Amino acid sequence: MNPLHLLPPETAHKLTLFAVKHKLSPIAPPDDPATRLELFGKTFRNPVGLAAGADKNAAALAGWARLGFGFVEAGTVTRFPRQGNPKPRLWRLGNGHIVNWMGLPNKGMDLFVAHLTQFQTAPERKKLIVGASIASPENSTDDLRALAAVIAPLADYLTVNISCPNVDAHDHSATAMQEQVTAVVSEAGATPVLIKLAPETNKETLQKTVESVLCAGAKGFIATNTIPWSKHELLGNTSFIWPQSNGTAVGGYSGPLLLETTDSMVRNIRDIAGANIPLIGCGGVQSGKDARRLFTAGANAVQIYTGLIYKGPRLIADINRTYCAQRQQGQPPA
């Protein structure tokens, strides 16, 4: 058993972040050129990314690079600091399952920018593709514009997180999304803007979203965010009891039961948006074999979070090994 799992989940997370930031975590083996890939004009050392939410304030970027990640999606950051939801809001449910109801706690844009600025001159900068996940839980296009203006010059890509299940106000109407994405794209200049989608297995609904944000200038997709209780049927039969707050089921699920939905979304988005759109599979990857499934479905790269909590950094090497093997057979789209 991972000794960190003896601690409450948020404490374990803080301790991990401290260790990664202060370079107390393991160092990855030297890069294998066979894992390199090109995506939106950038060279990634490998296709394994840290998903949004693990380093909300971009505090430990050099450490994640040392651990072996090819890219990190820092954030989600909001314009002003946020407390997030009341605790408890993170549940480790065993067997690879997590439910989180964090509600986008973060220290706000100014500290995020200070950390990114500091990282620009770090020796690890050359090794790591840095994405920045931004959101406005209040649906403020002005806030998104302000975030994009200061963060885009320091990041390799921006992600608009329109899919957090743990805040009240995300407006999923096509018009609202288009307006927000257009605003971010116009501030981002040459920095590509990706969209992080919520779980959606209905292809027609997905098609409307994909087409409308592409029209607004988005350059790629990350599928998917966590599954909220309202969509728990996507998980099939679960062996755990869904966490509640004041008698109501709260939060979003991540873990192995998400892989099926991620696979379906990756397939559908690839089909809708075509062979060249950058597509990152996220959700349920806890082994090289899981990643292989998403590469086969059409993902260029994958992101992990819950798998890192349960499997540790060896998961990065495991995915890279599978990627190389799959590439030798000529399979991944990259």
Ligand X SMILES: Cc1cc2nc3c(=O)[nH]c(=O)nc-3n(C[C@H](O)[C@H](O)[C@H](O)COP(=O)(O)O)c2cc1C
CB under 6 A: which stretch of 46-54, 177-185, 264-272, 289-297 binds ligand X?
Answer: 46-54
Is residue 196 at the binding interface for ligand X, with CB under 6 A as the rule? yes
Is residue 255 at the binding interface for ligand X, with CB under 6 A as the rule? yes
- The residue among 281 and 332 lying less far from ligand X, judged by its C-beta, is 281
Is residue 225 at the binding interface for ligand X, with CB under 6 A as the rule? yes
- The residue among 63 and 75 lying less far from ligand X, judged by its C-beta, is 75
Is residue 25 at the binding interface for ligand X, with CB under 6 A as the rule? no
The amino acid occupying position 183 is: A
Residue 194 β-bridge partners: 159, 220
Question: Cα 334 from chain centroid?
Answer: 19
Is residue 304 at the binding interface for ligand X, with CB under 6 A as the rule? yes
Tokens coding 228? 């909220």
Is residue 285 at the binding interface for ligand X, with CB under 6 A as the rule? yes
Residue nearest to ligand X according to CB distances in the complex: 53
Q: How far is the CB of 193 from ligand X (least distance, A)?
A: 14
Is residue 226 at the binding interface for ligand X, with CB under 6 A as the rule? yes
Q: How far is the CB of 307 from ligand X (least distance, A)?
A: 5
Q: How far is the CB of 223 from ligand X (least distance, A)?
A: 9
- Compute the chain's Rg from CA coordinates: 18
Distance CA 76, CA 10 (A): 17
CB under 6 A: which stretch of 148-156, 186-194, 231-239, 298-306 binds ligand X?
Answer: 298-306
How does 81-107 read in b/e, with b if 16+ C-beta sit within 10 Å? Answer: ebebbeeebbbbbeebbbbbbbbbbbb
Tokens coding 283? 């959700």
Binding-site residue total for ligand X (CB under 6 A)? 27
Is residue 306 at the binding interface for ligand X, with CB under 6 A as the rule? yes
Tokens coding 147? 């975030």
Q: Terminus-to-terminus CA distance in the chain, angstroms?
A: 36
- The residue among 113 and 282 lying less far from ligand X, judged by its C-beta, is 282
Is residue 146 at the binding interface for ligand X, with CB under 6 A as the rule? no
Is residue 269 at the binding interface for ligand X, with CB under 6 A as the rule? no
Q: How far is the CB of 123 from ligand X (least distance, A)?
A: 27
Is residue 300 at the binding interface for ligand X, with CB under 6 A as the rule? no
Question: Cα 327 from chain centroid?
Answer: 23
Choice from 243, 283, 298, 313 touching ligand X (CB under 6 A): 283
Cα–Cα distances (Å) from 104 to 88, 128, 136, 289, 319, in that order, read 14, 24, 10, 30, 28
Q: How far is the CB of 163 from ligand X (least distance, A)?
A: 7
Q: Are strands 244-245 and 248-249 parallel, antiparallel or unpaired?
A: antiparallel
Cα–Cα distances (Å) from 11 to 4, 6, 70, 192, 322, in that order, read 9, 10, 26, 34, 32
Q: How far is the CB of 131 from ligand X (least distance, A)?
A: 10
DSSP per-residue codes, 208-236: HHHHHHHHTT--EEEE--PEEGGGGGGG-
Is residue 307 at the binding interface for ligand X, with CB under 6 A as the rule? yes
Interface characters, 91-110, with ligand X (x: CB under 6 A)? -------x-x-x-x------
Is residue 57 at the binding interface for ligand X, with CB under 6 A as the rule? no
Question: SS3 of 301, please?
Answer: strand
Distance CA 171, CA 180 (A): 10
Residue 155: Cβ within 10 Å count: 25
Q: By the criterion CB under 6 A, which residues form the site for ligand X?
A: 51-53, 56, 76, 90, 98, 100, 102, 104, 133, 161, 164, 196, 225-226, 254-255, 258, 282-285, 304-307
